[in-house]
C-alpha cells in the first residue's frame, strides 16, 4: 500500500503502487511497464483498475471525488533522461460507491511541462499538482 485516505471509521481509499513486494520484481514490473496498480475502496471492498501507475490519493472535499497523481510511463521515472522526461497524469474517480464509478483524466502531459506527477488536490475549481522531483503545477479546472 502506498497511500491511504480515511473517510470514516469503516471507510478508506488506498493505492497499491506495485504488485510485487520484492525490490527486484518491482524494478522488473516498472521495466516491463506492467500497469498492475489500483485504487481500493473499503466498505465494501471494491477495486478500480486504472491502467497507469497510481501514486497518492486526495479527496475533493466538495464532491467526494478521488484524485490521484499517476505515472503513465514508469520506466522513464525509473531511468530519468532529461531529454525524454517522465510524463504526468491526474485522474478523477467519480461516483466511487456506485455500480459504475467514472474515471476521467483531469491532466495529462508528456513531461514537457510537468514531470512525474505524484499527487493532486482541488479547491474551488482550482487544482495543484505535486511531483516526485520536479516543480508543482497550478491550474483552473
Annotated binding site: 55-56
Binding residues for Ca(2+): 55-56
Reference 48, options 32, 28, 65, 60; nearest CA is 65
For residues 38 and 48, give the distance between their C-alpha atoms in angstroms, rounded to a whole number: 6
Amino acid at each position: 500500500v502506498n497511500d491511504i485516505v480515511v473517510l470514516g471509521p469503516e471507510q478508506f481509499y488506498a493505492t497499491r503502487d506495485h504488485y510485487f513486494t520484492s525490490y527486484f520484481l518491482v524494478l522488473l514490473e516498472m521495466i516491463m511497464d506492467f500497469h498492475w496498480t489500483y485504487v481500493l475502496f473499503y466498505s465494501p471492498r471494491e477495486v478500480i483498475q486504472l491502467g497507469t501507475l497510481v501514486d497518492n490519493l486526495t479527496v475533493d472535499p466538495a464532491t467526494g471525488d478521488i484524485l490521484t497523481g499517476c505515472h503513465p510511463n514508469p520506466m522513464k521515472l525509473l531511468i530519468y533522461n532529461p531529454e525524454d522526461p517522465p510524463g504526468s497524469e491526474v485522474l478523477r474517480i467519480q461516483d466511487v460507491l456506485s455500480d459504475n464509478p467514472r474515471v476521467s483524466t483531469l491532466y495529462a502531459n508528456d513531461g514537457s511541462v510537468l514531470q512525474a506527477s505524484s499527487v493532486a488536490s482541488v479547491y474551488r475549481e482550482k487544482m495543484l499538482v505535486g511531483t516526485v522531483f520536479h516543480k508543482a503545477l497550478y491550474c483552473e479546472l
